[in-house]
A and B are shown apart, each in its own frame.
Chain A
């Protein structure tokens, strides 16, 4: 029965496992999306006379019906293939998604016009026309689809620009993109009193040489396999554009797929490192800065914190431009950008989806999802994986780069001379465009400074932690403009932990400044004073750390003056102004629900396990047999294989008897004794000791001394310690043990204090019998007690047992030696193959046998007759 039960559990487990594996393997894969690869012909150009064929893929919404549409734009150097995965995700969420390769990219024809209103923007308008014809797309009016645009970088800018030029667009999610491309390529972080703070200043700054080169090279010569090149991975793009299926003509080699005007413009500025007014004009036409007040739709701006190409101030300017029209804007700074970082693909997807769900599916209204301003922060490490954990801190409104509050830290340091090296080399390395990921992510950004090229000003160690969110400002005075009267500097704010650690440069960002220091001014009033906007960051300066503002003359990523010069730099004001946003709060992620639920459920389950298996054993007292040391009735026990070890055994032992349990090996004697001690459970039948039914651990067993199947001692303890600890384990008073009498029976002498592991078999045997006699139990059960004893000891043992029973106690001795039983016992129970053969006084047995046969026989002969073995 038990065997079968165990079997059933195993079978059940195996079946469950198989079902699980099968379900996992056969779980229906989501049905393939209804996908249409197509070519959409558009007409664009300033005069609407250029025919371009756009390579597009349309994903019908999963679930059917009329659904809002989303245009997914790819990044620079990419194609419609780069956004295939996010497009499929959105389509599964029930959007009609259109992806296309912008003109000049992928398999689309035409030339790159840098998101020009005359070219790319007109293309998007015609894509909207195409969408409005699709039967699955929900329309706001005839020819006006319900549509949003999302995209990163180049694709983010087209989202913003298209929103400005086409009123049919309902919501946009631009990511890591620019507000003013001329500022992105020629940044100048000088705070100019004439111009509104932020991007969009009149004066252009330092040429972002390396990024510009990379940016333009990605629009390079057509290659056979541009599909899949991803804007975010600089290495992939660089590698992908190296091969070409056919020799390039002169124009292609020089300009790739750029519009010739743009190519010429780039070649001019890249050569001189100076922006021409025409270049600035052209770059701004391709930027949201040129369309103030025209983006009037809900806009979610996702900008990367690790982005030296389009830093956070571009999102800031975009946010202010959109907010000025009264349209809802949210800004999030996530851990990503053109310099690497986590990327947070899932989080940006979720955020984009929530935005479109609200504005496209649910028609807007109150309850805008997400926070007005959200910042991804370092949440330490996951305790299990030891990987960085990202937390998203949110605040209701976006306060801008100036923060909602300000904190000031005093800097100090003398005026310092710094040199601009000839040709701008060697240069400080703060970040390497396109390779950001290789330099390490997170907060471990380190800037490699060159001696003699930088001036540093330190604060005192912070007394408490300081969380900076936004763009800090500092005022410095610069002397020595040299011949040109212009000084190029790179300002950065570093976190100095002290000790052995190098200072960290948060996100690897620097603020380039171009300051004019006219020679005459230099002489007269002690140089030029400028206020510098340091890079916008979200960074926690810990207590005990110092803040260090460093101004260096070089940075690898930028164009620098070729002529050598020396400048003197000092603090114009000691005050470093640091923006803070106290309202940013990380949602208190309380412990997961299962933290409490699991242990509670386990307790319930454990209680179930313990209660369900409980056997109700009633303690039935049989007063009639209270004086009977042992009464066995109907006792049955089967081996695991079903064979009966004890089969319907019944007998009774009276007080004062020395009973022999007699039978050949395997007769079931030991099994009976184990059941008698409550060690194994009988399958049927009962055992009563002094009128109490025997169950495992029944208290009445305390009146029973036992020696079953060999001794059991702790080998590392002495014989005496073993007996003493055994007696203490019974919990009975030490005085009741009769230790001396028991030890006398053991007769071990000095060996008593040796470890049991040194004992011979016979010594252990005697010690075990002594242990059985501890406390002089009323019923003594001995299994083969004379095994391993020598003849004198056997004789002594016999004597002991007979005397033991004389005091009214009862002894049960099992044996397969008939002579043994004959000489020791007055009663005998004969067992064979688990069954009772006979029981009664030894004398009766002998007498009966004698009667049968006519001659006095030994017990052995009787026994052999009884078990039917005459061999």
Chain B
């Protein structure tokens, strides 16, 4: 063992707070986890399961109805829109809740959090890096499902123009693709609330499932309140009220109003919740 000369209270040589916990390290730390792999596996398999379901199920529903589900087999884009519509309410919520709710709480439950903090990774930096990676995984989850659905839909139903629900109009596939980008983009923004709630809970509890469950529970409660029409205009400020506003991007005429409101509500909640998360974590006594 070698001798070393210390200067006045300086940190260890080579240490700089801004280099701690690089994103690549955090990505690797999270990626090899079983729940990450299972969740992505599920999201990527779901479109194929749906394809099989549509191929096996021969029962025809009402002939003249033009719901999203009836049009799912019309084209790859229709199919992808359908896949997104059935998963955005719950599956993607769980996925996003998982990636964002698990990230800090699981470290706490493994006790590895205190060693990271003592390394030391400054608290706000640890939270920031974890948030970026968790949001990255969430985004990957939200994007991977419709993309895989596009692929599965193309293989199963062909690359055709999209038929719009309700009016039954046809939008050329080339014109619909940017619209589809808007749909995915909005789905990402609208899940920000779930991500932030899960992240805030993640910093306050040592139980990863508690954080995920709390976020999912909030979505459920919000959905229930949404059904109470007596709440009137107040419902517009529920975090899940605008979750299906992306359907406007598939309407014959692109309508931004709902998505703007939804994005506004979502961003508002997330900014406050994330600020609370950072504040809490900064002051918290780590006893796990």
Residues of A whose CB lies within 8 Å of any CB of B are: 380-384, 386, 497, 499-502, 542, 544, 589, 591-592, 594-596, 598-599, 601-603, 605-607, 609-610, 613-615, 621-623, 626-627, 674, 677-681, 689-692, 696-704, 706, 708-717, 725-726, 728-733, 736, 741, 771, 775-778, 803-804, 806-809
Contacts and interface: CB of A to CB of B under 8 A. Distances in A.
Interface stretch (B75-83, B165-173, B205-213): B165-173
Interface string B86-122: 0000000000000000000000001111111111111
Nearest to B32: A716
| Category for how many chain B residues contact A | 35 or more
- Would you call the interface of chain A mostly helix, strand, loop, or mixed? loop
Nearest to A755: B32
Contact of B226 (A384, A601, A715): A384
B15 A731 contact: yes
Nearest to A605: B272
A289 to B, nearest CB: 40
Contacts of B253: 380
Nearest 7 interchain pairs by C-beta: A383-B258, A712-B111, A731-B19, A606-B275, A383-B245, A697-B122, A699-B11
A500 to B, nearest CB: 6
A716 B6 contact: no
Nearest to A777: B12
Contacts of B269: 602
A717 B25 CA distance: 13
A696 B10 CA distance: 16
A712 B8 contact: no
Contact of B120 (A500, A674, A678, A717): A678
B20 A730 contact: yes
A677 B117 contact: yes
A728 B22 contact: yes
Contacts of A730: 15, 20, 119, 121
Nearest to A382: B258
B17 interface: yes
Interface of B: 1-4, 6-22, 25, 28-29, 32-34, 63-64, 66, 110-123, 125, 167-170, 226, 235-236, 241-242, 244-245, 247-248, 251-253, 255-262, 264-265, 267-269, 271-272, 274-276, 278-279, 282-283, 285-287
Contacts of B242: 383-384
Contacts, number: 247
Nearest to B286: A679
A778 B279 contact: no
Nearest to A717: B32
A502 B64 contact: yes
B272 A699 contact: no
A702 B117 CA distance: 10
B251 A679 contact: no
Contacts of B283: 613, 615, 681
Contacts of A809: 1
B118 A678 contact: yes
Given A679-B285, A702-B11, A696 B168 contact: no
A615 B283 CA distance: 9
A605 to B, nearest CB: 6
A602 B279 contact: no
9 contacts: A384-B244, A544-B170, A598-B264, A610-B278, A613-B279, A674-B287, A697-B122, A710-B111, A807-B1
B244 A386 contact: yes
Contacts of B116: 726, 729
Contact of B8 (A386, A610, A691): A691
A681 B284 CA distance: 8
Contacts of A711: 111
A697 B264 contact: no
Contacts of B241: 384
B64 A500 contact: yes
Contacts of A803: 1
A713 B112 CA distance: 5
Contact of A713 (B2, B10, B110, B272): B110
Contact of B21 (A589, A692, A729): A729
B168 A680 contact: no
A489 to B, nearest CB: 28
A594 B261 CA distance: 8
A710 B1 CA distance: 26
A691 B20 CA distance: 23
B110 A729 contact: no
B122 to A, nearest CB: 4
A186 to B, nearest CB: 36
Contact of A679 (B118, B276, B279): B118
A731 B22 contact: yes
Nearest to A735: B14
A383 B247 contact: yes
